[in-house]
Amino acid sequence: MQIAYPKSFLKLLLIGFALAMLPLFFAFGNAALYLDRLAAQSRNAVTQAVQATRASRALVEQITLMERSARQYFVLEDSSLLENYERAHEKFTESWQDLSHLRLSNIQKNALHALSEQEQTLFQNMMGHPDNTKLAAEIVNHFAELTTQAQDILDENNRQIDRESAILAETAERTQQIMLWQTLTLIPVALLVAVMITFLVAQPIRRMDAAIRKLGEGDYTELISIDGPGDLRNLGERLNWLRLQLTELDQQKQRFLRNVSHELKTPLTAIREGSELLNDEVGGTLTSQQREITDILRESSLRLQKMIENLLSFTAVQFHTPQLKLEAVALVPLAESILADYALTISSKNIDIQRNFSPSDIAIMGDREKIHSIIDNLLSNAIKYTLPSSSIRFSIMQENDHAVILVHDSGPGIMTADKDRLYDPFYRGDDAYQSLVSGSGLGLSIAKEYVDAHAGEITLLPSKHGAHFRVTLPLKADKS
């Protein structure tokens, strides 16, 4: 499925951040709403409790004040005491009205209504018959009942406050649980959104990284198409343009190598034939100095021929996967013939070739020309970098169903910095005179290509001195 990306990478990041933060913002907003609701409920509960407690206490206080004023009036018959009683009644009425306006239970409302009616009846009797001594005792006794009822209302208010507090605590606990579950739910949602956005951001970057890696490895065959924001798609188009340019440049390089190699081979053949004729003294007897010069020409022409053949082999390998012409190849005679080609160089440098061919009749099914190139490249490097009057250990043996070729020279060895790029084409190392990968830098690269074509393996073994190569080839190669 095609993913619809925004036009810019920055917009994608902003959308990603916004989507990742959206669940968290929802959680924060919802938490704030719950907390605000809980705070409002707490304020209302506290206000209700304070007002109910204040009004209830006021009822008890005013009844006590009315009782005291009534008792004093009946004893002293002072009209000012009757006025005090009337003022206390007015304050009682105000407290009763304040309490009746609050949110009360049915029990409280009924008790408050009964208290109000009894107090009103008592007030009318008190004010209507202030001089009736017969009613005095009855009136005073009624005040005790009013006090008890008012105290019951106060106690019921306290119990109502306790119930409201319990409900408030339960609501707070439930709110806390809701917020906890909400957080536990939204955090994974936020993480999932973040992972999805990260995937959308990382996917085109991974594709771009893979495309750049392929370009760096010299693979120009695959079309580069980056599916992502507009600016990354533009960058992908630039990379594809670069791929096309590199493809054309690589083709030009291959054509150049192929043409130059063929052009050089013709005059080189003439030089080789001429140096061989001189060496055979066809033109006359040579002096020792002339023979030395002839040997130099012959050896240099052989070396130049080897480099040109490597260039031709490398060009063929680059254009086509090596095709094997399978036949039975006797390794020991092939190795001896290659050593014979370097007999002059071996003799001039006084190199001791320590052979170990066991068994001597070992043969494999392979491509004779390519196996010749493998052994030739290993031996030529070993002979080139082995110091004069030193030795080269050359072994051919059989291990199970594989043939093993070992070449161990006495040269300076291979630098650590060169080991990772030992088989790279044209790589010659930082110091061409101290590293085995000098010359054209194609010998080991071609050897590895041909070894791989035979389903074999070439490795550099650890060695204190010199370079130690091991080539493993199956006795029966797969033609596919």
**In sequence order, what DSSP letters do the residues of 94-108 get, joined into one string?**
HHHHHHHTS---HHH
Residue 122 buriedness (CB in 10 A; 0-12 / 13-18 / 19+): buried
CB 364 within 8 A of CB 475: yes
What is the rounded distance in angstroms from the CA atom of residue 285 to the CA atom of residue 257? 40
CA distance 309 to 454: 20
Spatial separation of the C-alpha atoms in residues 377 and 306, rounded to whole Å: 9
> Coil, helix or strand for 254?
helix
The DSSP element (H or E) to which 354 belongs, if any, is strand 352-358
Domains annotated for the chain, with CATH where assigned, are 9-199 (1.20.120.1730), 219-320 (1.10.287.130), 323-474 (3.30.565.10)
Q: Would you say 434 and 447 are in contact if contact means Cβ atoms under 8 Å apart?
A: no
The model's pTM is: 0.47
**Is the link from the previous residue into 359 a cis peptide, with omega within 30 of 0?**
yes
Q: Is 2 exposed, middle or buried (0-12, 13-18, 19+ CB in 10 A)?
A: exposed
Q: Return the C-alpha torsion angle 149, 150, 153, 158, nearest 10.
A: -130
Tell me the C-alpha distance between 320 and 318, whole Å. 6
- pLDDT tens string, the chain, 480 residues long: the values are 455 565 666 666 677 677 767 777 777 777 777 777 777 777 777 777 777 777 778 878 887 888 787 777 777 777 787 788 788 888 888 877 877 777 777 777 777 788 777 778 777 777 766 565 556 667 777 777 777 877 777 777 777 777 777 877 887 788 778 777 877 777 777 778 777 777 777 777 788 888 888 887 777 788 887 776 777 777 788 888 888 888 888 777 777 766 766 666 667 677 777 777 777 777 677 777 877 777 777 777 776 776 676 666 666 655 555 667 888 999 999 999 988 888 878 888 899 999 888 887 888 998 888 888 899 888 888 888 888 889 999 999 998 889 999 999 988 887 777 777 777 766 555 444 443 334 556 778 888 888 888 889 998 888 888 889 999 999 886 654
Nearest to 53 by CA among 130, 145, 165: 165
User: What φ, ψ does residue 354 adopt, rounded to 5°?
Assistant: -90, 100
The C-alpha atoms of residue 111 and residue 105 are separated, in whole angstroms, by: 10
Please say whether the beta carbons of 462 and 468 come within 8 A.
yes
Rg (the chain; Cα; Å): 54
Question: b vs e for 174-187, b when ≥16 Cβ sit within 10 Å of the residue's Cβ?
Answer: ebeeeeeebeeebe
**3-state class (DSSP) for residue 404:** strand
